[in-house]
C-alpha cells in the first residue's frame, strides 16, 4: 500500500510539473516576442523540468528496466534543472552588479556547464548503483549508493541554493541602492514606481526558496535514511516525493509566468472578459521587455 501511494504521489506531482513546464516550453516556441536571451534560459530550465517530470512518470519499481532508466534520467534532468537556475542567477548578477553586456556570448559555456556536470554526476551515480529497487526508482537502497547519491545530487543542490541566495542578495541590494539614489536625484516631475521595482525584487528573492521548498524534505529523508536505514518515516517519504516532483511546476510559475508571457497569450488568443484581470493589457512595449528581461 505504501509503495502504491508513493508511486501515485510521484505520478500526480510529476504530471502537474510536466504540464506547467510544458506550457512554458510551448509559449517559447509559439511566441517570437519571448525569444530573448533571458527567457531562453528559462526555456532550457523548463525543458529540463519537463524531461525530469516525464521520466519520473514512467518509472515503476515493478518494471526493472524502466525503473533503472527513470533513475538515471531523473537524476540527470533534475540536476540540469537547478543548474540552469544558477545560470539565470549568474546572468542577472553579471548584468546588474558587474555591468557586463557579454552574457549572450556565454551561452555555449552554460550548456557545457549544465549538461556536462549533470552527465558526470549521473555517471558517478551509476558506478555506485547496487541495482536494488526500492519504493521509488530514483532513490538507492545500498549504503554506498545512498552516500554517492547524496554526494552527486544533494551536495550540488545545496551548493546551487547557496550560490543563488548570495547572488540574488547582492542583486537586490544593488538595485535597492540604485533606486534610492534615483529617487533622491530625480526631479518632482519624474518619480519611479517603487511598487513595480519591489515586485521584481520580491520575485527574485523567492527563486532560492523554490529549491529549498522542493528539496528540503528530500534532504532530511536522505540523511535519516543513511543514519537509520532500517527505519522509514512514511510521511517524510510522501513529502519528499511530492515536493521534489512539484519543482517543475514551481519553476514554471516563478520563472516563466510573468506579465510578458501573459500579455503574449492575451494578444494572440480570444479570451473572455474575466481573464483581463489576470492578463494585463495596458503595458507599453518597453515595460514588457524590461520585465521580461529582468536585467
Question: Mind listing the pLDDT tens digit for each residue in 196-238?
Answer: 555 555 566 677 788 899 999 989 988 888 888 778 888 888 9
**Rg of the Cα atoms in the chain:** 21
Task: State percent of the chain over pLDDT 90.
Answer: 31
pLDDT at 164 over 80: yes
Q: What is this structure's pTM?
A: 0.81
pLDDT of residue 13: 92
**Domain extents in the chain:** 1-179+201-275
Cβ neighbours of 33 (radius 10 Å): 16
Question: Across all residues in the chain, what is the average pLDDT?
Answer: 79
Of 225, 220, 200, nearest to 158 by C-alpha is 220
Higher model confidence: residue 139 or residue 254?
254
Block residue for cell numbers 511546476: 249
pLDDT of residue 281: 46
Cβ neighbours of 24 (radius 10 Å): 26
- How many Å apart are CA 36 and CA 104, to the nearest integer? 10
3-state DSSP call for residue 134? coil
- Pick the most confident of 112-126, 181-195, 277-291: 112-126
Note whether 251 and 80 are within 8 A (CB): no
- Domain 1-179+201-275: CATH superfamily, name plus number: Rhodopsin 7-helix transmembrane proteins (1.20.1070.10)
Half-sphere exposure of 131 (CA within 13 A, CB side): 3
Amino acid at each position: 500500500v505504501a509503495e502504491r501511494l508513493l508511486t501515485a504521489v510521484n505520478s500526480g506531482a510529476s504530471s502537474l510539473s510536466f504540464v506547467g513546464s510544458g506550457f512554458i516550453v510551448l509559449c517559447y516556441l509559439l511566441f517570437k516576442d519571448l525569444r530573448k536571451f533571458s527567457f531562453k534560459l528559462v526555456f532550457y530550465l523548463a525543458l529540463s523540468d519537463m524531461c525530469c517530470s516525464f521520466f519520473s512518470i514512467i518509472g515503476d519499481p515493478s518494471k526493472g528496466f524502466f525503473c533503472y532508466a527513470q533513475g538515471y534520467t531523473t537524476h540527470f534532468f533534475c540536476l540540469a534543472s537547478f543548474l540552469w537556475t544558477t545560470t539565470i542567477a549568474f546572468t542577472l548578477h553579471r548584468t546588474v552588479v558587474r555591468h557586463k553586456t557579454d552574457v549572450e556570448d556565454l551561452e555555449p559555456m552554460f550548456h557545457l556547464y549544465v549538461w556536462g556536470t549533470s552527465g558526470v554526476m549521473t555517471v558517478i551515480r551509476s558506478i555506485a548503483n547496487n541495482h536494488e529497487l526500492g519504493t521509488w526508482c530514483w532513490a538507492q537502497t545500498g549504503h554506498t549508493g545512498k552516500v554517492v547519491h547524496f554526494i552527486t545530487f544533494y551536495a550540488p543542490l545545496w551548493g546551487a541554493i547557496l550560490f543563488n541566495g548570495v547572488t540574488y542578495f547582492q542583486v537586490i541590494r544593488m538595485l535597492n541602492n540604485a533606486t534610492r539614489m534615483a529617487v533622491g536625484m530625480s526631479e518632482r516631475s519624474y518619480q519611479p514606481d517603487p511598487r513595480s521595482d519591489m515586485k521584481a525584487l520580491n520575485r527574485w528573492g523567492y527563486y532560492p526558496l523554490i529549491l529549498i521548498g522542493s528539496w528540503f524534505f528530500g534532504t532530511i529523508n536522505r540523511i535519516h535514511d543513511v543514519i537509520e536505514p532500517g527505519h522509514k518515516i512514511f510521511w517524510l517519504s510522501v513529502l519528499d516525493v511530492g515536493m521534489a516532483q512539484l519543482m517543475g511546476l514551481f519553476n514554471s510559475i516563478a520563472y516563466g509566468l510573468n506579465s510578458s508571457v501573459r500579455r503574449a497569450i492575451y494578444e494572440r488568443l480570444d479570451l473572455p472578459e474575466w481573464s483581463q484581470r489576470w492578463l494585463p493589457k495596458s503595458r507599453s512595449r518597453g515595460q514588457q521587455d524590461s520585465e521580461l528581461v529582468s536585467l
